Amino acid sequence: MTSAPTTGTAATAAPASRLPSLTGLRWIAALLVFGFHVATMRVVAEPDYQAVVGGLFALGLSGVEFFFILSGFVLVWSFRDGEPRRRFLRRRLAKIYPNHLLMWAVVLLVGLWFADPVNLGAALGNLFLLQAWNPTPGYFYSVNTVSWSLSCELFFYLCLPFALPVLRRLRPAVLWAVVVAAPLLILALWPGQRLVPEENRWWFTQVFPVVRSLEFWMGVAAAELMRRGRWRGPRLTAASVIFVGTWFVAGLWIRAEFWAALLAVAYLLVITAAADADVRGRRTPWRSRPMVWLGEVSFAFYLVHVFVMATVLRLTGHHGVGLPGWWGPLAVLGFLLVNLLLAAALHRYVETPMMRRLGPPRRPPARTASVPSPRPAPSQAAAEPAGQARPIEYAGRRDRA
């Protein structure tokens, strides 16, 4: 692959900018997961329509893979050097825990109303985001089933402040080795799972936080390379074509064992290309106000969507059988809109105010000296709205019009 001249040889160690295109892309990942659950929950009963939904979103579960890679990239990009570990963890918990706690309580109350049995141990494990560590059926997908990914994220948050000082000292070749090794290790999980008892293999490959951290560390290494101006990759248009091509080719002709590894590469290329475009101030379809807003509510959308669909289908007697004829596609559209409205309310009235209340007080970014480049080149900052952090001075050649 011919690398685009997107980066130079060094980056200025300045406060990192926000990357609105990556926020917008979060909505695409959430939409993929939504489509996957629409298919697996059989919202659509008509076989022909169900086949279309299943074909389009057969790989939709990989949207969580996108979130994990993106999480590693964004956390390194925005990490504040010298920030105490406790402060970092407090910020992250303030982001994810209020929504999780509310949904945990709501799901349990609705379950009691349906007279569903409650496993107290599983419920407590879920409350404290420990469920992904327990391979016992009924534990890692307990209560609000999608919260297993938050259990993984909490593990990532605990590890990153300890790993990052070491990461900052690694040579670029080592970081590139991490980027290359991660998808290869993901691929090796399929033969490797034979070492695990058969009943635990799904948990091992799909849920176990240590295994899922491969995707996170892939994003971490790529972000550190880009911070230093050492990343090489295609621009956003080419990366998007690679992703779309990989998605359809994998779904049609590639064995399922290869999906996660291939999509990890495709997702990383899109993430890094979108981040590079933001830093250089290029226009992207993902940084528009509607897309950024959708990305901001995507976390809440992810947390509510399965619960809402399952509850409505149970109340209407269509759980597991779907809705006939055109009612199925109409129900999918209705679920999308209802979940989006609920997510917007959750984001506005719970997530945002609780982040302000529970998170550490904001501090003005400290000025740091720049790292000299052996080949000085002009830098170009990302265009950001007023009041946001000053963009990172990202070294590299200025793109010519």
What is the residue extent of each domain of the chain? 25-358
Provide the token pair at 328: 């199925």
Residue 365 predicted with pLDDT over 70: no
Which long-range CB contacts under 8 A does 247-251 form with residues at least 24 apart? 247/59, 250/59, 251/55, 251/58, 251/59
Find, among 19, 98, 23, 17, the residue nearest to 67 by Cα.
Answer: 23
Q: What is the 3-state secondary structure (H, E, C) of 176-222?
A: HHHHHHHHHHHHHHHHHHHHCCHHHHHHHHHCCHHHHHHHHHHHHHH
Give mean pLDDT, residues 144-171.
95
Task: pLDDT band for 250, please (50, 70, 90 cuts).
Answer: confident
pLDDT band at 364 (very low <50, low <70, confident <90, very high): low
For 62-70, what is the mean pLDDT? 94
Over residues 270-294, mean pLDDT: 93
- Between CA 153 and CA 142 the distance in angstroms is 17
**Best-predicted range by mean pLDDT among 57-66, 93-102, 356-365?**
93-102
Q: Give the pLDDT band of residue 17 (cuts 50, 70, 90).
A: low
Q: Which residues contact 65 (CB under 8 A, 6 or more apart)?
A: 215, 260, 263, 264, 267
Residue 222 scores a pLDDT above 60: yes
Q: Report d(CA 264, CA 202) in Å as an integer.
A: 18
**Which range is least confidently modeled, 86-100, 225-239, 250-264?**
250-264
pLDDT for residue 155 is more than 50: yes
Sign of CA dihedral 243, 246, 249, 255: negative
Q: What is the pLDDT of residue 109?
A: 96
Q: How high is the pLDDT of residue 190?
A: 87
Q: Is 320 exposed, middle or buried (0-12, 13-18, 19+ CB in 10 A)?
A: exposed
> In this structure, how many other beta carbons lie within 10 angstroms of the beta carbon of residue 128?
10
Nearest to 186 by CA among 69, 309, 37: 69
Q: Identify the band that residue 391 occupies on the pLDDT scale cut at 50, 70 and 90.
A: very low
Tell me the average pLDDT across 86-112: 95
Average pLDDT, the chain: 85
